[in-house]
Amino acid sequence: MAVAFLKNKNFEILEKNYRWARGEIDIVARKNGVLVFVEVKTARSRNFGAPETWVTPRKQQQIGMVAERYLQEREIHDTDCRFDVIAVQSHLGQWRIKHIENAFWL
């Protein structure tokens, strides 16, 4: 659902579920020359709060380390990067998507 949402917003999807060590980046995409590392959080109920709040500072650090490895492996230099969060939540039988651009900085 998140990939389709990003494609609809003219993002080029480069990779899904990139893994390194004990970390993962859900989606690596590009738009307007900016490399975007996207964390996706999904909630089927509101019992645990908004899913975007689950991207804790510790999780942000982990995503940053995996993103750094991605850049090293692909020898990507001098490219603007950012970290986005997509929150997918079910509400009254409907799925809602919230896209937070530049969700955090490292």
Kindly report, residue by residue over 45-81, the tens digit of the pLDDT: 666 667 787 799 999 999 999 999 999 999 999 999 9
Pick the CATH number of 2-86+93-98 from 3.40.980.10, 3.40.50.300, 3.40.1350.10, 3.90.550.10: 3.40.1350.10
Is this prediction's pTM over 0.95? no
Q: Are 25 and 18 in contact (CB under 8 A)?
A: yes
Which sign does the torsion angle of CA 102, 44, 65, 58 carry?
positive
